[in-house]
């Protein structure tokens, strides 16, 4: 008696067009278990299922994980990662060892950073961020990453990614404004800015440029009322490019006291 054939081995199997398979999988892009099951159905489904299954990845550095990192770097799944998070509380020595090896993440467009302070990392590790992720379009930075660094260092970091379109910043820095290098060039395609920090240095820096970025979306969270005048100047400078603005104000205790949102609808041309 002949052994039964697997579905994927049957010669007259009807194949769905790749576009239709992709349209189906996109509906389950956040359901990791479903995508994992779909990847085992047949070879035709494997590439698309993996593309969504591993589109987002977080490298959570803890004391138990460094031994598994080389195995991850050899895996083919890292080529599917589009959004990468580097988080954790591991010492900078381990980060200096492994972060420069992230060359396989060639399709990453979004980067979330919340790890040891930037100033503790070795020069080769800092350069690795710029070399390995030069084409990212979305950047999110948490408080701890720029702890104690000057605002000039922060600004130079932002301008090192020329393809940036969206920036999310939470936290503060320890250095003064103005910049030591006023000749920095802002990413020319920047259209979204989200701040969860003291906005004074960031907005003053942006206002110092002769040509403001054409921001379409501005979101300001946990902002003190004392910055209202500066925010007004910034919005006026943006002019007609602004389409959406969201502002959450807090009092001295950190409690939300005012929330304001506006969506500017432009006439169709």
Domain ranges for the chain, please list them: 16-53, 174-269
From CA 43, how far away is CA 30, in angstroms rounded?
21
Q: Residue 131: helix, strand or coil by DSSP?
A: helix
Please state, rounded to an integer, the average pLDDT across all residues of the chain: 79
User: Does residue 227 surpass a pLDDT of 70?
Assistant: yes
What does the pLDDT look like over 117-161, one tens digit per residue? 788 888 888 888 888 898 999 999 886 777 777 788 888 889 999
Predicted local confidence at residue 29, as pLDDT: 79
Of the candidates 142, 144, 194, which has an alpha carbon nearest to the alpha carbon of residue 164?
194
Q: CB within 8 A of 24, min separation 6: which ones?
A: none
Predicted local confidence at residue 32, as pLDDT: 83
What does the pLDDT look like over 176-191, one tens digit per residue? 555 545 568 889 899 9
The DSSP secondary-structure symbol of 164 reads: -
User: Does residue 206 surpass a pLDDT of 80?
Assistant: yes
Predicted local confidence at residue 267, as pLDDT: 47
What does the pLDDT look like over 22-57, one tens digit per residue? 888 888 878 888 888 888 888 878 888 888 888 888
What the block records as the tokens of 109 is 């467009």
What the block records as the tokens of 150 is 């000057």
Q: Residue 174: helix, strand or coil by DSSP?
A: coil
Q: Residue 139: helix, strand or coil by DSSP?
A: strand
What does the pLDDT look like over 51-92, one tens digit per residue? 888 888 887 766 545 667 777 777 888 888 999 988 766 667
pLDDT-derived band at 21 (thresholds 50, 70, 90) equals confident
User: Does residue 226 surpass a pLDDT of 70?
Assistant: yes
| pTM listed for this prediction | 0.79
């Amino acid at each position: 008696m002949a052994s039964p054939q697997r579905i994927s081995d049957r010669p007259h199997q009807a194949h769905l067009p790749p576009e239709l398979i992709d349209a189906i999988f996109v509906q389950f892009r956040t359901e990791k278990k479903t995508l994992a099951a779909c990847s085992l159905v047949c070879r035709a489904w494997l590439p698309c299922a993996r593309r969504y299954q591993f589109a987002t990845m977080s490298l959570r550095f803890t004391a138990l994980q460094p031994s598994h990192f080389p195995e991850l770097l050899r895996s083919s799944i890292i080529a599917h990662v589009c959004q990468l998070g580097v988080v954790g509380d591991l010492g900078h020595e381990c980060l200096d060892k492994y972060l420069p090896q992230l060359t396989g993440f060639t399709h990453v467009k979004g980067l979330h950073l919340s790890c040891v302070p930037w100033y503790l990392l070795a020069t080769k590790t800092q350069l690795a961020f710029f070399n390995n992720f030069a084409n990212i379009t979305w950047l999110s930075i948490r408080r701890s990453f720029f702890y104690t660094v000057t605002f000039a260092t922060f600004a130079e970091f932002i301008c090192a990614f020329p393809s940036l379109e969206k920036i999310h910043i939470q936290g503060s820095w320890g250095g003064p404004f103005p910049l030591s290098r006023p000749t920095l060039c802002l990413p020319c395609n920047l259209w979204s800015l989200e701040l969860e920090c003291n906005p004074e240095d960031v907005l003053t820096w942006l206002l110092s440029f002769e040509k403001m970025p054409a921001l379409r979306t501005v979101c300001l969270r946990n902002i003190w009322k004392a910055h209202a005048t500066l925010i007004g100047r910034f919005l006026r400078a943006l002019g007609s490019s602004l389409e959406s603005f969201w502002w959450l104000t807090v009092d001295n205790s950190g409690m939300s006291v005012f929330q304001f949102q506006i969506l500017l609808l432009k006439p169709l041309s």
